[in-house]
Structure 1
Amino acid sequence: MASFPVINMEKLNGEERAATMEMIKDACENWGFFELVKHGISPEFMDTVERLTKEHYRKCMEQRFKEMVASRGVEAVQSEINDLDWESTFFLRHLPISNIAEVPDLEEQYRNVMKEFAAQLEKLAEYLLDLLCENLGIDKGYLKKAFYGSKGPTFGTKVSNYPPCPKPELIKGLRAHTDAGGIILLFQDDKVSGLQLLKDSEWIDVPPMRHSIVINLGDQLEVITNGKYKSVMHRVIAQTDGNRMSVASFYNPGSDAVICPALELVEKENKELYPKFVFEDYMKLYAGLKFQAKEPRFEALKGHAKNN
Structure 2
Amino acid sequence: MATNFNNGDSLFNFVVKDGNGVKGLVDLGLTEVPCRYIQPPHHRINNQQVAGSLENVTIDLSELDGPNHDQVVRSIVHASETLGFFQVVNHGVPLKLLDSLKLAAHEFFGQPAEKKLVYLNGVSPSPLVKYGTSFVPYIEKVLEWKDYISMTYTNDADAHEFWPNDLTEVALEYIKTSSEMVQKLLQTLIGNLGVKVDDSRFHELTGRTLVNMNFYPPCPNPDLTVGVGRHSDAGMLTVLLQDGIGGLYVKKGESADSPGDDEVWIEIPPVHGALVINIGDALQILSNGRYISAEHRVRTTDIESRVSVPIFNAPLPEAKIGPFAEVVARDGVARYKEVTFEEYTKSYLKKTLDGKKSLEFASVI
Task: Please classify the TM superposition score into its range, dividing by the shorter chain length.
Answer: 0.7 to 0.9
**Hey, what does 2:151 align to over in structure 1?**
92
Contact 2:246 2:270 in 1 (8 A): yes
Q: Determine the structure 1 residue equivalent to 2:264.
A: 202
Task: State the Cα deviation string for residues 194-238 of structure 1 (Å, max 9, x = none).
Answer: 110000431110110112110001110000000000111100000
Structure 2: unaligned runs, 5 residues or longer: 1-50, 118-139, 254-262
- Tell me how far 1:293 sits from its aligned partner: 4.1
- Matched with 2:192 is 135
Question: Is the alpha carbon distance of 1:251 and 1:199 closer, same or farther for their aligned partners in structure 2, counting shifts above 3 Å?
Answer: same
Report 1:257-276 matches (<5 A). 257-276=319-338
Measured at CA, do residues 300 and 133 of structure 1 come closer, stay the same or move farther in structure 2, by a change above 3 Å? closer
Relative to structure 1, is the Cα distance of residues 157 and 188 closer, same or farther in structure 2, using a 3 angstrom cutoff? same
**What is the letter of the counterpart of residue 215 of structure 2?**
N
The match for 1:159 is 213
Return the match for 2:109 from 57, 69, 79: 57
Q: Give me the TM-score of the superposition, normalised by structure 1.
A: 0.83
The count of aligned residue pairs is 281
Q: Name 2:258's counterpart in structure 1.
A: none
| Counterpart position of 2:223 | 169
**Which letter does structure 1 place at the counterpart of 2:321?**
I
State the alpha-carbon separation in 2 of the partners of residues 41 and 242 from structure 1: 26
Which stretch of the first structure deviates more once superposed, 2-11 or 272-281? 2-11
Moved more, 263-272 or 81-90: 81-90
Q: Counterpart of 2:165?
A: 106
1:21-58 per-residue CA deviation (whole Å, 9 max, x = no partner) reads 11101000001001010001111222222222222222
What letter matches 1:145 in structure 2?
R
Q: 2:172 aligns with which of 104, 115, 119?
A: 115
CA-atom RMSD in angstroms = 2.6
Question: Which letter maps to 2:319?
Answer: A
Q: Relative to structure 1, is the Cα distance of residues 178 and 62 closer, same or farther in structure 2, using a 3 angstrom cutoff? A: farther
C-alpha offsets along residues 267-299 of structure 1, whole Å, 9 cap, x if unaligned? 11011111011111111111122412435x444
1:96–1:154 CA contact under 8 A, matched in 2: no
Secondary structure in structure 2 of the residue aligned to 1:281: helix
- Opposite residue 271 of structure 2, the aligned amino acid is M
Conserved? CA contact 1:256–1:280, under 8 Å: yes
The question of whether the paired residues in 2 share the 8 Å contact of 1:92 and 1:99 is answered with no
Provide the residue aligned with 2:201 in structure 1.
145
- Residue 76 of structure 1 is matched in structure 2 by none
Conserved? CA contact 2:208–2:313, under 8 Å: yes
Identity %: 28
Q: Which residue of the other structure, out of 45, 62, 71, is the alignment partner of 1:19?
A: 71
Relative to the length of structure 2, the TM-score reads: 0.71
Amino acid at match of 2:184: Y
Quote the Cα distance in structure 1 between the aligned partners of 2:83 and 2:174.
Answer: 26
**Alignment check: 8 A CA contact 2:281 2:359 kept:** no
Q: Which of residues 240, 263, 271 in structure 2 aligns to 1:186? A: 240
The CA deviation at 1:99 is 4.6
Residues 19 and 281 of structure 1: is their aligned pair in 2 closer, same or farther, counting only changes over 3 Å?
Answer: same
> Which residue number in structure 1 is paired with residue 61 of structure 2?
9
Aligned with 1:292 (options 354, 359, 363): 354
